[in-house]
Amino acid sequence: MEHLSVDHLVGIRDLTRQDIELIFKTADSFKEVINRPIKKVPSLRDITIANLFFENSTRTRLSFELAEKRLSADVVNFSASSSSVKKGETLIDTVNNILSMKVDMVVMRHPNPGAAKFLSERTNTRVINAGDGTHEHPTQGLLDAFSIRERLGSVEGKKVVIVGDILHSRVALSNIYTLQKLGAEVMVCGPTTLIPKYIHTLGIKVEHNLRRALEWCDVANMLRIQLERQDIQYFPSLREYSMQYGLNKEILDSLGKEIIVMHPGPINRGVEITSDVADSSQSIILQQVENGVAIRMAVIYLLAAKIGR
């Protein structure tokens, strides 16, 4: 069996291209499994996984739980809002208490950048980062690139623009690392205030005009404005943002080519994307969600194979 070069999935930055290709190859098999009448394999019958969510989630939490159940793992769920974290318990105490119950793997979403790395260095369980603040969301980066590969045949050489709130987005950084490692050309597009100053160090293009970005790309990944992470006002109003950076059918149809439209969710219809674009044949938003389960099955399966090694 081929193995990942890492013991945890903290960020895409730590992965090699071979790791990503191995995850995709494994996800191809699991995608076939989840489309069968019996969607389950007995691979992880002796593994217990804890899903620790210190921040809200719909897609990622459900997707991980489904992936774990499809692999026949035992699953326990933890949500910070209904836990003793509210009574002042620290992250490491919470996690050590859960691990005392013989948990083999932890999937964690946390508001602080670096939380998954912190945990991976202080426990002897496998850790999967399900989003750490504004840092990384590695399984989202993987499922997005996997969805591009599925629709366009490969990622190598494709032009992908990520549009919107890059500054507060963990999805953007994980997408940039994944796409670059697979040989895609990457651009970010948005108002100057929402593009981080360090962006030029990543070797990607920056464009502030949405039409020019769309004319350049094969794929547009539209990000949500993360109002919950914005401490100051970064643009005059959502209406003005939408007029300059919102993707609508009129712009899409005027491009003279068929680009693919993506969105990691949750969508704010009418802000970064209109309903007719989100629901159009060019949108692969629901395929991204479907692929999320196969990708997470692959990551869990490959990391579980390293337990005890």
State yes or no: residue 133 binds ligand CP (CB under 6 A): no
Peptide bond into 266 cis (omega under 30): yes
Q: Measuring CA to CA, which residue among 129, 132, 288, 290 is closest to residue 221?
A: 288
Active site residues: 59-60, 87, 109, 137
Report how far residue 101's alpha carbon sits from residue 103's, in angstroms, rounded to the nearest whole number.
Answer: 6
Q: Candidates 40-48, 146-154, 191-199, 263-271 — which segment interacts with ligand CP by CB under 6 A? A: 263-271
Sheet holding 74-79, edge to edge: 74-79, 48-53, 105-110, 126-132
State yes or no: residue 264 binds ligand CP (CB under 6 A): yes
User: Which residue of this chain has its Cβ atom nearest to ligand CP in the complex?
Assistant: 60
When the beta carbons of 139 and 180 are compared against ligand CP, the nearer one is 139
Q: Candidates 89-97, 116-124, 262-270, 277-285 — which segment interacts with ligand CP by CB under 6 A? A: 262-270
Q: 136 with 11: CB under 8 angstroms?
A: yes
- Is 224 annotated in a binding site? The answer is yes
State yes or no: residue 265 binds ligand CP (CB under 6 A): yes
Report how far residue 20's alpha carbon sits from residue 156's, in angstroms, rounded to the nearest whole number.
Answer: 13
State yes or no: residue 178 binds ligand CP (CB under 6 A): no
CA 198 to chain centre: 21
Q: Candidates 13-21, 76-84, 193-201, 264-272 — which segment interacts with ligand CP by CB under 6 A? A: 264-272
- Is 87 annotated in a binding site? The answer is yes
Both structure tokens of 121: 């260095």
The correct pick among 43, 120, 125, 140 for binding ligand CP (CB under 6 A) is 140
3-state secondary structure of 185: strand
State yes or no: residue 266 binds ligand CP (CB under 6 A): yes
CB of 45 to ligand CP, least distance (A): 27
Task: Report 229-248 residues binding ligand CP (CB under 6 A).
Answer: none
State yes or no: residue 129 binds ligand CP (CB under 6 A): no
Report how far residue 280's alpha carbon sits from residue 113's, in angstroms, rounded to the nearest whole number.
Answer: 35
CB of 58 to ligand CP, least distance (A): 4
Both structure tokens of 52: 């620790």
State yes or no: residue 58 binds ligand CP (CB under 6 A): yes
When the beta carbons of 129 and 242 are compared against ligand CP, the nearer one is 129
Report how far residue 284's alpha carbon sits from residue 146's, in angstroms, rounded to the nearest whole number.
Answer: 12
Task: Report 60-79 residues binding ligand CP (CB under 6 A).
Answer: 60
CB of 166 to ligand CP, least distance (A): 15
State yes or no: residue 59 binds ligand CP (CB under 6 A): yes
Report how far residue 60's alpha carbon sits from residue 108's, in angstroms, rounded to the nearest whole number.
Answer: 10
Helices (H) and strands (E) in the chain, counts: 11, 9
Q: 179 with 155: CB under 8 angstroms?
A: yes
Q: 246 with 271: CB under 8 angstroms?
A: yes
Q: Which residues bind ligand CP (CB under 6 A)?
A: 57-60, 131, 137, 140, 264-266
Binding-site residues sit at: 59-60, 87, 109, 137, 140, 170, 224, 265-266
Binding-site residues for carbamoyl phosphate sit at: 59-60, 109, 137, 140, 265-266
Binding-site residues for L-aspartate sit at: 87, 170, 224
